[in-house]
């Protein structure tokens, strides 16, 4: 009995567990880039930067609770294709809403505008949950150890918050980045839809990461041209 307990503890604190944890964290980071852009774009629907930060902070706390719940019930959730269909439909609806809405000329923002902080928070939490439906299968395939997956998820949600904060700034700096982000959202939504239709049609994970990387590279390819008002233009010319 003591030998069995020792072997059990030995695994949990072994080098093998550390490597698996690093792999899970890496997968969380790689697969969260498109998620971070989507959350940043949603937060930009608020009136000011302070509200954007608050929406991300509170929204991701709720998102974390939903992620953990999803992980703990993953075996049960995976039995029902309806969850993946709802996730796919929600992500594709976000994409449609983005590309069909009129652009805000002041900050090049597509998508919904929110009148209050509490309108944006549920959208952020549900969007992260929809993305998690796609990533939870990958995490469980890497390790069946719940504590490893939950630890990686905890680190991943913190990393996602920092990434979303960076993308909020970059969305103002790069003209195509918001569109690129939503194209990757469409890609994830279609991947979920293919899992519902026929799992054999789902593209491999390496192809998903490659496609997302190419799309994001296009998103960072063109900086936003800022038009100066006459007074600012004169100051710039004088300083030069």
Express as a percent the part of the chain with pLDDT over 90: 3
Rounded to 10 deg, the angle between the 117-142 and 177-197 helix axes is 50
DSSP state of 113: -
What is the four-CA torsion angle of 188, 192, 198, 199, rounded to 10 degrees? 80
Residue pair 128/60 in contact by the 8 Å Cβ criterion: yes
pLDDT in tens, 42-94: 888 887 888 888 999 999 999 889 888 887 787 777 778 888 889 889 989 98
Domains of the chain: total: 1
pLDDT band at 218 (very low <50, low <70, confident <90, very high): very high
| CA dist list (Å): 20 to 15, 150, 169, 193, 209 | 9, 12, 33, 29, 19
For residue 148, give its domain range. 2-239
Residue 226 tokens, joined: 């800022």
Q: What's the rounded Cα separation, in Å, for the pair 74 and 83? A: 11
Predicted pLDDT at 238: 45
């Amino acid at each position: 009995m003591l030998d069995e307990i020792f072997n059990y503890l030995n695994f949990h604190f072994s080098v093998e567990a550390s490597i698996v944890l690093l792999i899970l964290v890496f997968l969380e980071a790689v697969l969260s880039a498109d998620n971070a852009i989507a959350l940043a774009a949603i937060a930009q629907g608020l009136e000011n930067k302070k509200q954007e930060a608050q929406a991300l902070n509170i929204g991701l706390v709720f998102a974390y609770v939903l992620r953990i719940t999803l992980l703990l019930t993953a075996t049960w959730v995976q039995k029902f294709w309806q969850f993946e269909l709802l996730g796919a439909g929600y992500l594709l609806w976000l994409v449609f809403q983005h590309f069909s809405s009129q652009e805000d000329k002041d900050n090049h923002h597509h998508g919904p505008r929110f009148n209050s902080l509490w309108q944006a928070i549920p959208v952020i939490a549900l969007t992260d949950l929809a993305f998690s439906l796609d990533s939870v299968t990958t995490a469980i395939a890497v390790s069946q150890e719940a504590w490893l997956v939950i630890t990686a998820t905890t680190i991943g949600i913190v990393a996602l918050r920092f990434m979303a904060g960076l993308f909020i700034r970059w969305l103002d700096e790069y003209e195509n980045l918001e569109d690129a982000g939503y194209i990757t959202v469409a890609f994830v939504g279609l991947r979920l839809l293919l899992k519902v239709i026929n799992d054999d049609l789902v593209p491999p994970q390496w192809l998903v990461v490659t496609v997302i990387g190419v799309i994001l590279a296009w998103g960072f390819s063109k900086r936003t041209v800022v038009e100066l008002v006459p007074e600012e233009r004169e100051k710039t010319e004088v300083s030069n």
